[in-house]
Each structure stands twice: as structure tokens, then as C-alpha cells.
Amino acid sequence: MLSDIEYYFDYAASTPVDPEVIRVMTQSLEEHPYNPHAHYHQSTMVSQQIDLARERVSECIHADPDSIIWTSGATESINLALYGTAKFYQGFKKHIITSTIEHSATKQVLKQLAKEGFEISYVSVDHNGRINLDQLRTLVRRDTLLVSVIAVHNEIGVTQALSEIAEIAHAVGAFFHVDAAQAIGKIDINVEQQGIDLLSLSAHKCYGPKGVGALYRKKNPLIMLRPLLFGGEQQQRIRPGTLPTHQIVGMGKAYQLTQLNQKSNHAKSASNAKALIQGLKQLPHTITIHVDAKYRVNDILSFQCHDVDRSALIEFLKPFQISTHSSCINQQQPRDHVLYACLSSLQAVNESIRIGMGRYTSRDAINGFVAQLNRALSQLTN
């Protein structure tokens, strides 16, 4: 019999907090209640813990620790990167480029900037969700301020050619921002080698706590941000406020564990993905996987079950916990812009579901899911 966590197939929405992360967070709450910005010995110790967490996060992306700015999560990080940069440079450059499949955090802040007079251009993607680089080259121009893309897509798992996109952006003097909330532990991120100027990070997508994230800002005097918040002098006044030590310590530990276990985690995720895909192919039903394996991370799989409505399918798949789309989309927002941008078929969109696997996904759970899917499809097609 499967444990509760083994029924969880929605790791792309959020990951369980690692027990070691819980341990260091609890220890921080119990033993270190001090304000890290005060000037006595105990607070200095807390400040050192934050510095250690900053080092651990920076090591995962091959960055200078001083380039890390703590935020309340990836959404705030994306807002600070895009809105903060745009407002600082609004008198000089007012053109921003993004893709048609970005996360709602990026979409909504750019929608707001458009209302404030910025011009937003959208580069299209192919059937795999890969950005059209030739079109991007035609869109960039001398007044382009930013190019912003998602590194690993939370709905379809596609990766992007980050270095090539950076080169295109930098050719016209534009900054390059990457939403890497879903990327840590799935692909290698090297901000220097990949030419990344701004990078948004999350803790709860890699076994850390919710409510904390970070923004990497390259140490370049030209990359300036206007703060979203105003208050004290913390974090060079870019993001003021007393730092939540326990959450930051938790994020640091989560990133450290992700880096330490990267090889074993990759091996397991590759094995799990292979088992799941083999299981799907053996079913007596027509199933289409949306993104080619060479462009997709192992942990996220989006596929279409032909002639079966996904809403009904989700009900028949219980107790397995899966999603049809991003958890960040509410009832008022248009859904599935990502799948439609790739597939251009409403029927395909309405027949597609997303599987998110992770550290605690077992082979028994995968076999159980495939068996449950087979039963569900048989009932729904007869």
C-alpha cells in the first residue's frame, strides 16, 4: 500500500519540505530569536547564518554571494526584477520582450507595465514550447531594456536555450532575466556562463519552505532596480524589512541538499521518467506526450489522453494528486495559454494533464498511477 506522499504527483506546484530543512528551521526558531540587523553578539551569529544560506544559494547558480537579495518568494523576485528595472530606466528604454508561455507572475507584472506606457513584445514558441530564436532576433532593438524567459516551465517541463537568448539580448544592450523558480535541481544554472543578469529563485520548488525566495542581480553598476518596498536600510534598501531568519536558513539548507544530492536525484528522476513513459506507451489508449525528451526535464510530464475530458479524468484518478495546469491560475484568468501556444488545439488542451514527480516518488507509485490511469481511461471511453 502506498503512503500518502507517494500519491503526490504535483511536485511542479510545490514540494514537500525536507526533514533536514524542517530541523534547521525549528532550531533557528527555538534557539535564535534575535534580529539579524541588531548589533550584539547573538544577532551577529544570526547574521552569519543568513550569510551561510546566501553562500549555499549562490553556489547552486555559480554566483557571488553578495549578489543575492532575499525576497518573499519567486513572485516578488520576478516583480522586483522586471518592475524594479523598468521603473528605474523608464526615461531611457521602454521595450521589454518575453515569451508567450511565461508564468503568471511575469505575465501580470508586464501587463501592468504595459498600462504604464511600456511596450511588451511576445516571442512565439514551437510545438515543444521552445522559444523561436530567429523571431527573437527580429524583435530586439536598441531601446529594448529587458528580455525575460522561464528556464524550466512549470506546466510542460520544457527548457530554453539560455546562453543563446542572453547573447541575442546583450547584442542590443538589453538585460537578461530568467525565472528559475522551477530550475534548481533539474538543470544546471551558471549565471556567468549563461549570461544571466537577473535570476528569480524559489525555496518551495526544491524542498524548502514557502514564503521565501531570492533575486540574483549581477554585480554590474548598470543593473539598477527601483525598490518595490520602502523602509529600513536592509539589503542596500533594495528590499527593506527584517529578514526571516528561519525561512532563509531553510532555503539555504534546501539548496545545499539539492546540490549535494544532484547526481543521485538526477539518476532517480531519469529512471522514474523512463518507467512512467514506458507505462503510458503500453496502455491500450492513444496518449501523446507534448515535449520531446531532449528539451524536457525528467520531473515534469505533460500529456494528452485522446478523447477524454481531463476534468473527468482527474476525478477518476483519485487518490493520486495531479493537476491540469499551474496552481497560480485562478478562475478569472484565461487558462492553458501555455499548452495552446504550443499545440494550437483547444481539444488537445482540454485532454491534457500534468504529472510532477520528485524525491519521494517511488516506482510502486508510478506503477500504481499507470494502473489507475488505465482503469480511468477504460471507464471514460466505454
Kindly report the CATH number assigned to the domain that includes residue 125: 3.40.640.10
Rg (CA), the chain: 21
Same-domain status, 32 and 73 = yes
Same-domain status, 231 and 279 = no
The residues of the chain scoring below 70 in pLDDT are 1, 325-336, 344
pTM reported for the whole predicted model: 0.94
Same-domain status, 242 and 363 = no
Out of 60, 206, 305, 328, the active site residue is 328
Same-domain status, 167 and 312 = no
Work out how many domains the chain is built from and give that number. Answer: 2
Is the separation of the CB atoms in 227 and 238 below 8 Å?
Answer: yes
Q: Which of 201, 226, 259 marks a domain boundary?
A: 259
Question: Any idea which residue has 534598501 for its cell?
Answer: 237
> Which residues, listed in sequence order, are joined to residue 198 by a DSSP beta bridge?
177, 217
Report the candidate in 168, 150, 146, 167 with the shortest Cα–Cα distance to residue 159: 150
Same-domain status, 225 and 115 = yes
Catalytic, 342? Answer no
pLDDT reported for residue 335 = 55
Same-domain status, 235 and 336 = no
Same-domain status, 70 and 98 = yes
Same-domain status, 327 and 371 = yes
Neighbours of 291 (CB within 10 A): 22
Report the candidate in 318, 247, 355 with the shortest Cα–Cα distance to residue 10: 355
Domain with residue 342: its CATH number is 3.90.1150.10
Same-domain status, 12 and 41 = no
Same-domain status, 151 and 40 = yes
In the chain, the largest separation of any two C-alpha atoms, in whole Å, equals 72
Between vectors from CA 73 to CA 162 and to CA 111, what angle results, nearest 5°?
A: 70
Domain range for residue 37? 19-259
pLDDT reported for residue 69 = 98
pLDDT reported for residue 380 = 92
Same-domain status, 81 and 157 = yes
Please enumerate in sequence order all residues whose Cβ is within 8 A of that of 166, keeping only pairs 6 or more positions apart, or say none: 176, 194, 195, 196
Same-domain status, 242 and 333 = no
Query: Which residue type, as a one-letter code, is found at position 104?
Result: S
